[in-house]
Homo-oligomer: A and B are copies of this chain.
Amino acid sequence: MAKKHILIVPGDGIGQEVTTVGKQVLDRIAEKFGHEFTYDEALIGHVAIEATGDPLPEETLVKMRASDAILFGAVGHPKYDNDPSAKVRPEQGLLKMRKELGLYANLRPIKLFDELLEASSIKPEILKGSDILFFRELTGDVYFGKRERLDDGNTAYDTMIYSKYEVERIARKAFEAARTRSKKLMSVDKANVLESSRLWREVIQKIAPEYPDVEVEHQFIDAAAMLLIKDPRRFDVVVTGNLFGDILTDEASQIAGSMGMLASASVGDSTGVYEPIHGSAHDITGKGVANPLASVLSAALLLDISFGLKAEADAIIAAVDKVLKDGFRTRDIANSETPADKILGTDAMGAELLKHL
């Protein structure tokens, strides 16, 4: 029996709606498997700016540090996107959280549910059997290098920067994972142009001999973005930097048919953060149609990775599989053949899921 304290950080937009379902699922798991989960909630992003002026209030950070794991929603608001000169921005909260908690490894499993094989824009025969695990570095790169305006505001730069120890610690996580899977690791960089990528590649090459059972392949980011669509089965464990990882994993969401199905785990020095890879989606916020399954699957990752509760995580995945097999869909994963009464809103999908837990 596990006794754990979980912090729910819904953030912006549909974050609130989907984490509500994620928490219901955690609750049900605690009940069913006899664990004791306590919860607290905290603000981040646009809602935190509105309430306190700060996208990551000190109070949130204190609660994060005091928790055993964090179930996270999403961050962002269109208001800032259309105002490039805004000084305080929701994303600053997200980036600061990653840095402060030392969340240097972002794991994004791209798992295809059989039932959704047809939901993708990619041909089923190309997709079938795809199973990818991304390791995106999360606390370095151009996300955290120095940035500045020069020349009376007419020039702007950002610094893409990596140190060897940063590459090494994420690479080791990826090599270890490759060992437990197909023993294939793809490292993605742009070493034909970038010095930071050449450093990246050097580190991978240096530690590779310590994992002689793992076959290493290097790809340039442009080629990888192309190959991911052309031949997704060629990918297994992938390790890459923060920016390239951001791009590749969003692109890879199309392999799973929808962003609404994909969960991620951010881990590192302390408390892990579990969140959907989708964003705040303000266009559908408040309509009750958001797909809660990515948050539910994030809860499964949380149980598995932070608490070591594998059977509990598997029970959640099986329940997701079951509702899909029963034909239930949220709007984003429905198609023209889905009967209208099988298209569920956020809460109804949550309720359907709970029936199988």
Q: Which residues of B contact A36 (CB under 8 A)?
A: none
User: Taking A122-B123, A123-B122, A151-B163 as contacts, is the C-beta distance between A157 and B195 under 8 angstroms?
Assistant: yes
A294–B39 Cα distance when bound, in Å, is 58
> Judging by beta carbons under 8 Å apart, are B198 and A84 in contact?
yes
Chain A residues within 8 Å of chain B by Cβ, number: 66
A164–B153 Cα distance when bound, in Å, is 9
> Judging by beta carbons under 8 Å apart, are A84 and B199 in contact?
yes
> Judging by beta carbons under 8 Å apart, are A95 and B162 in contact?
no
> Judging by beta carbons under 8 Å apart, are A230 and B254 in contact?
yes
Q: Which of A78-95 contact B (CB under 8 A)?
A: 80-82, 84-85, 89, 91, 95
Instruction: Determine which of B123, B148, B160 lies in contact with A157 in the assembled complex, contact meaning CB atoms within 8 Å.
Output: B160
A195–B160 Cα distance when bound, in Å, is 12
Q: List 9 A-B pairs, Cβ < 8 Å.
A: A84-B197, A154-B164, A155-B199, A156-B161, A156-B196, A158-B195, A159-B160, A190-B246, A226-B251
**Chain A residues packing against B (C-beta within 8 Å):** 76, 80-82, 84-85, 89, 91, 95, 121-123, 126, 142-143, 145, 147-149, 151, 154-165, 190-199, 201-202, 205, 218, 221-223, 225-226, 228-231, 243, 246-251, 253-254, 259, 279
